[in-house]
Structure 1
Amino acid sequence: MKNYTVALLALALLAGSCGQNDQTPCDATAVTTRAPQAETTALKQFLDSKGINATADERGFYYVVKSPGSGAKPTVCSNVTVNYVGKLTNGTTFDSGSGVSFGLNQLILGWQEGIPLVAPGGSITLYLPPSLAYGAQDQPGIPGNSILVFDIDLVRIN
């Protein structure tokens, strides 16, 4: 299995809604981007076809909290360390990482919205529609307009 962590991070930097550098401070305001209804419907159909009982978020993604963790939850401005596996809906793994640190504001919208649902030590599965992931653009190992599934363990807030 190839590891596309560098590509994921580079692409995530482009997808982030706010920059993290000396000139653009992070805005801790919650992300409010919503997926189009057609994407939400397709995602719900996928979950139903697989018998997955996930919680719907008003922004258009679904999630399953496997373990809530404990302590304070991260914000979009937090830097976090995670273990994760990213898969396509056919089960193909396109990326994974262990002990990887990111600024949440540098990542795809679905991670910015989903990871703050758990605290350190927590574990979550995110089911993301294309507009909250990589959209219509093909990425290494990810066809455009793909629904993505991420299993994420939040190791810590750095």
Structure 2
Amino acid sequence: MRKFRYILVLFCIAAGFAACKKSSSSNFDVAAQLAADTAAIRAYIVKNNIPALKHESGVFYQIIAPGNGNVEYKPSTLVTAHYSGRVLGNTATFDTTEGGAAREFPLGGVIAGWQIGIPMIQKGGTIRIIIPSYYGYGNRGTGPIPPNSILDFNITLTDVY
């Protein structure tokens, strides 16, 4: 029994030290990554002749159709949208509603790039947003999206309430 206690105490101490280890993300330079993303986005939109504008946040956007309405967006605003998303410069989509039903979500429950871009349009509107990694999934990535990925979305709002 005494041996079990010692092993348990040693395990707890080891776990405590492991929890104190600095993660590699603590050394991540957000400003440098945002600058690199911005340069890559600018090069991409020039090369592909995309008439995108830069929002003060750093997100680039192209309003294809503004839509109709006068909704004042809040984090609790529900939006229903058709969309397709890909990593910038990649033709393969990592997520899409094409061929399916539009998806509904609260605006406050999506990535920051969407929270910045979607309020620029109303119901029936379409926007293309090119999102620096900081406003997407950052240096952690998710699923098929690698860390530090610039995201490129086409979004059409079918409903806003």
Picking from 49, 52, 55, the partner of 1:54 is: 52
State the partner residue of 2:93.
93
Instruction: Give the C-alpha shift of residue 36 in structure 1.
Output: 3.0
Q: Percent identity?
A: 34
TM-score of the pair, normalised by structure 1: 0.73
Whole-Å separation in 1 of the counterparts to 2:117 and 2:96 = 17
TM-score of the pair, normalised by structure 2: 0.72
Checking the alignment, whether the CA contact within 8 Å between 1:76 and 1:112 is kept in structure 2 is no
Which residue identity does 2:138 align to in structure 1? G
Moved over 4 A (4+): none
State the partner residue of 1:81.
80
Number of residue-to-residue matches in the alignment: 125
Checking the alignment, whether the CA contact within 8 Å between 2:124 and 2:157 is kept in structure 1 is yes
Whole-Å separation in 2 of the counterparts to 1:39 and 1:76 = 27
Structure 1 residues without counterparts, runs of 5 or longer: 1-33
Aligned: 1:108 with 2:111: yes
State the partner residue of 2:28.
none
Checking the alignment, whether the CA contact within 8 Å between 1:130 and 1:146 is kept in structure 2 is yes
Deviates more, 1:101-110 or 1:40-49: 40-49
Instruction: Give the C-alpha shift of residue 65 in structure 1.
Output: 0.7
Whole-Å separation in 2 of the counterparts to 1:145 and 1:64 = 22
- Greater CA radius of gyration, 1 or 2? 2
Aligned: 1:117 with 2:116: no
Whole-Å separation in 2 of the counterparts to 1:64 and 1:76 = 22
Checking the alignment, whether the CA contact within 8 Å between 1:115 and 1:124 is kept in structure 2 is yes
Q: Classify the secondary structure of the residue corresponding to 2:102.
A: strand
Instruction: Give the C-alpha shift of residue 52 in structure 1.
Output: 1.4
Whole-Å separation in 2 of the counterparts to 1:49 and 1:70 = 32
Whole-Å separation in 2 of the counterparts to 1:154 and 1:125 = 12
Return the structure number with greater helix share: 2
Checking the alignment, whether the CA contact within 8 Å between 2:34 and 2:133 is kept in structure 1 is no
State the partner residue of 1:36.
34
Structure 2 residues without counterparts, runs of 5 or longer: 1-30
Q: Classify the secondary structure of the residue corresponding to 1:138.
A: coil
